[in-house]
Amino acid sequence: MSHSGPVLRFEATATDASARAGSVLTSRGQFLTPCFMPVGTRAAVRTLSSVDLESLGVQVMLANTYHLMLRPGAEVIARAGGIHEFAGWNGHVLTDSGGYQVYSLNPTVDDSGATFRSTYDGSSHHLTPERAVQIQHLLGSDIQMVLDVCPPLPSEPGLVRAAVDRTAAWAARAKAAHQPALVGGHAQALFGIVQGGIDPCLRRESAERTLAIGFDGYGIGGLSVGESRDEMLPALAAAVEVLPTESPRYLMGVGDAIGIVEAIALGVDMFDCVLPTRLARHGTVLTSAGRLNLRNAGFASDTNPLDPACDCIVCARWSRAYLRHLLCVHEPTAPRLVTIHNLHWLLALVGRAREAILRGELDRLRAEVARTLKG
Amino acid sequence: MSHSGPVLRFEATATDASARAGSVLTSRGQFLTPCFMPVGTRAAVRTLSSVDLESLGVQVMLANTYHLMLRPGAEVIARAGGIHEFAGWNGHVLTDSGGYQVYSLNPTVDDSGATFRSTYDGSSHHLTPERAVQIQHLLGSDIQMVLDVCPPLPSEPGLVRAAVDRTAAWAARAKAAHQPALVGGHAQALFGIVQGGIDPCLRRESAERTLAIGFDGYGIGGLSVGESRDEMLPALAAAVEVLPTESPRYLMGVGDAIGIVEAIALGVDMFDCVLPTRLARHGTVLTSAGRLNLRNAGFASDTNPLDPACDCIVCARWSRAYLRHLLCVHEPTAPRLVTIHNLHWLLALVGRAREAILRGELDRLRAEVARTLKG
């Protein structure tokens, strides 16, 4: 089935300098920005279910094409009615292209695409821009990402330049292959991705070339991959300046509190990262006074909640002492409850940033976050 | 603080042959019987929180003294205000004596008690009937169990006889050491334990000797430890016949559906077992048509719920295909959701048994369960 008209509309409700508080409207519904998207690698955020995501007020779940194309397989999910039906999740889903994971597997890459071996069973797979589009179509996400080339940082300038060129070429092929066909009654948006390392000129060029192809929204990839925050932000700013105000901007893989708030100030609307959930599983708690290592013996009899300033269900009910105990004896309840807290905490921070933009007070929040948080 | 009057009252609302539907009233409140108590080994049912237990309608959580005395330590829990406060759980808590775990550690046992090494750090500990009472007092459970001697089956008759004798001697010491003191405003009940292997005469004798000491309720221990169901039930019946109708009867460690329903028919009121939760973590699903191994490839694209006849939140929302996928890729969401289903399923079965007793139709349920279930 074909689809006419834009499959996604972004509207900025308010701006505060470069920052925007807005909403993204898709055929599934609306989500508000700035927005943090928890990572449901294998169609579930680790330790959580879609019921938990609803309770947390999650608007968009990210899922990984690399993992899902191998297990259970995109066709299995398509037969189940798509990822929303499969995971019992009525919110939005954004899928990545699979590229990011594939590049960590030492793939053979040429102009056609990337050939890699499955970490599940060693089988060989060839991922192309077209195939990434087709797989994400089978998965049935609301927003799919083009296959890009993401070099680690630092990288030789030639490598970063080549990544920009190939990313642009692949983006054009992805755009040509993409049909915003109705998946289960819902149209599927496609986002391009800006590369260019930490070179503002290359970032600007990559943004222009991606924009020239034209997408429903724009990811900024290849950041938070080894560089410092001081190196990241100017490159991010250079890309954002080129991108149109009427499209959503998505900074891929950045999930630390300061990084998110600074990127929001530069005009970014969407974020994803495994950081809050991964930290949780290792017992690192996000709090309004900075990170806290729950394994520390000092918490053994601490009857305070994880963060006394937090209003999540975990902080309302359980103490540091109890959660530390469960963590230390490897009870799976511990990573789950800390995951819920960390996600609530980060979603609340992003919500506060949105409120601050609506009031024109984002700078005050930036200063507070920079003062009280370490990462 | 001292406490006068009975700390626990059992009332049989209805009987159906030997089976009873009743209620247990403690200073914390009431729970209805027959009752299945999920095992919260380390102050949490594996993968669940007290919020989940509430959603499931759990009335009593069991916790393991052996584990809690070592991690985080009974004093830590006492300082936190007791296990209810510690775990954020307002329902009832029953603690075992620690004996069952200790006996699996090849302890040195003499008349004074059992000396064993901690599985956490190798440290040496001496558990006596008095110490078990004191530790459970610190934990602050609503019902504590006496330290008993539980031989595996089959065992030499002399060993079973010696276990009966020592259990009786230790029960008297536990009773003497126990003060139903108010723990956080709540009086603590003490249950004796009947031993005697599969010998009905020994079971009868052990029940009489335990009864002569006098407890708030009576556990039947040392069953489901290697014998067949046909060996277990006559021994159980022999013990139950001696026990007073006005006290609750608790069959320790039996959690298979047929065993539970048969024991209810003999007049048992309370059950605990790790079986439904352990099976869940291994992907074995309890259903109205028998057990189902979720790992089977046949479920890969099965969009049915785990049990089409079940009304739990898991069956309402997710398919076998999704849960099998999560299980096969080791997502912790899978054991959690199957645990919720299995517990709901077993609690619902026990609830149906209660309803059947109230209607005088338990035999019909027994026949149905024997016909449709394999374990």
Q: Does residue B223 come out as left (phi exceeding 0), alpha (psi in the -120 to 50 range) or beta?
A: beta
A302 is catalytic: no
Q: Using one digit for the tens of pLDDT, what is the confidence trace for B33-83?
A: 999 999 999 999 999 999 999 999 999 999 999 999 999 999 999 999 999
Cβ <8 Å between B303 and A76: no
Q: Using one digit for the tens of pLDDT, what is the confidence trace for A194-227?
A: 999 999 999 999 999 999 999 999 999 999 999 9
Chain A closest-CA separation from residue B36 CA (Å): 21
Distance (Å, whole) CA B39 – CA B57: 14
Whether B303 has its CB under 8 Å from any CB of chain A: the answer is yes
| Confidence (pLDDT) at A172 | 98
**CB within 8 Å of B292: residues ≥ 6 apart:** B284, B285, B299, B306, B307
User: Do B98 and B127 meet the contact criterion of CB atoms below 8 Å apart?
Assistant: yes
Structure tokens given for B158: 């002399």
User: Do A11 and A248 meet the contact criterion of CB atoms below 8 Å apart?
Assistant: no
Q: Please report, for residues A305, A313, A333, A340, the alpha-carbon distance to residue A52 in angstroms, rounded to integers and kept in the order given.
A: 20, 11, 14, 8
* Strands B108-110 and A290-293, bridge-based pairing: unpaired
| Confidence (pLDDT) at B184 | 77
Residue tagged active-site, from B52, B96, B216, B269: B96
Structure tokens given for B175: 């009773």
* Strands A60-63 and A92-95, bridge-based pairing: parallel
Three-state secondary structure call for residue B337:
helix
Three-state secondary structure call for residue B150:
coil
Mean pLDDT of B90-108: 95
Q: How many CA atoms within 13 Å lie on the side-chain side of A296?
A: 11
**Average pLDDT score over chain B:** 96
CA angle A235, A236, A242 (to 5 degrees): 100
Distance (Å, whole) CA B186 – CA B183: 5
Distance (Å, whole) CA A103 – CA B147: 59
Q: Give the phi and the psi of residue B249 in degrees, each rounded to 5.
A: -120, 135
**CB within 8 Å of A330: residues ≥ 6 apart:** none
**Average pLDDT score over chain A:** 96
Q: Using one digit for the tens of pLDDT, what is the confidence trace for B311-321?
A: 999 999 999 99
Distance (Å, whole) CA A364 – CA A246: 26
DSSP B298: G
Terminal C-alpha separation, chain A: 46
Q: Using one digit for the tens of pLDDT, what is the confidence trace for B353-372?
A: 999 999 999 999 999 999 99
Rounded to the nearest 10 degrees, the angle between the axes of helix A229-242 and helix A257-266 is 30
Q: Could you tell me where the beta strands, DSSP code E, fall in B54-176?
A: 60-63, 92-95, 108-110, 113-117, 124-127, 143-145
Structure tokens given for B194: 């009947």
Q: Using one digit for the tens of pLDDT, what is the confidence trace for A268-320?
A: 999 999 999 999 999 999 999 999 999 999 999 999 999 999 999 999 999 99
Q: Please report, for residues A206, A219, A270, the alpha-carbon distance to residue A192 in angstroms, rounded to integers and kept in the order given.
A: 10, 6, 14
Cβ <8 Å between B317 and A72: no
Q: Give the phi and the psi of residue A112 in degrees, each rounded to 5.
A: -75, -35
Whether pTM > 0.90 for this model: the answer is yes
Cβ <8 Å between A42 and B329: yes
Nearest to B188 by CA among B222, B251, B238, B138: B138
Q: Give the phi and the psi of residue A47 in degrees, each rounded to 5.
A: 80, -5
**CB interface of A with B, residues 51-90, below 8 Å:** 51, 67, 71-72, 76, 79-81, 86-88
User: Do B180 and B187 meet the contact criterion of CB atoms below 8 Å apart?
Assistant: yes
Mean pLDDT of A164-178: 98
Residue tagged active-site, from B16, B142, B272, B307: B272
User: Do A295 and A361 meet the contact criterion of CB atoms below 8 Å apart?
Assistant: no
Q: Is the confidence at residue A4, as pLDDT, over 70?
A: no
Structure tokens given for B46: 């594996």
Residue B233: its H or E element: helix B229-242
User: ipTM more than 0.85?
Assistant: yes
**CB nearest B318 (choices: A42, A88, A333):** A88
pLDDT band at A181, cuts 50/70/90?
A: confident
Least confident span in A213-217, B177-181, B235-239: B177-181
**CB nearest B322 (choices: A86, A319, A322):** A86
Q: Is the confidence at residue B3, as pLDDT, over 90?
A: no
- By percentage, how much of chain A surpasses pLDDT 70? 98
Residue B83: its H or E element: helix B83-87
Chain B closest-CA separation from residue A24 CA (Å): 27
Three-state secondary structure string covering chain A: CCCCCCCEEEEEEEEECCEEEEEEEECCCEEEECEEECECCCCCCCCCCHHHHHHHCCCEEEECHHHHHHCCCHHHHHHCCCHHHHHCCCCEEEECCCHHHHHCCCCEEECCEEEEECCCCCCEEEECHHHHHHHHHHHCCCEEECCCCCCCCCCCHHHHHHHHHHHHHHHHHHHHHCCCCCECCECCEEEEEECCCCCHHHHHHHHHHHHHHCCCEEEECCCCCCCCHHHHHHHHHHHHHHCCCCCCEEECCCCCHHHHHHHHHHCCCEEECCHHHHHHHCCEEEEECEEEECCCHHHCCCCCCCCCCCCCHHHHHCCHHHHHHHHHCCCCHHHHHHHHHHHHHHHHHHHHHHHHHHHCCHHHHHHHHHHHCCC
pLDDT band at A173, cuts 50/70/90?
A: very high
**CB nearest B333 (choices: A44, A319, A325):** A44
User: Do A305 and A292 meet the contact criterion of CB atoms below 8 Å apart?
Assistant: no
Cβ <8 Å between B43 and A318: no
B302 is catalytic: no
User: Do A235 and A269 meet the contact criterion of CB atoms below 8 Å apart?
Assistant: no
Cβ <8 Å between B336 and A335: no
Domains and CATH numbers, chain B: 8-273 (3.20.20.105), 274-375 (no CATH)
Closest residue of chain A to B67, computed from CA coordinates: A329
Distance (Å, whole) CA B292 – CA A305: 40
Distance (Å, whole) CA A165 – CA B215: 81
Closest residue of chain B to A322, computed from CA coordinates: B86
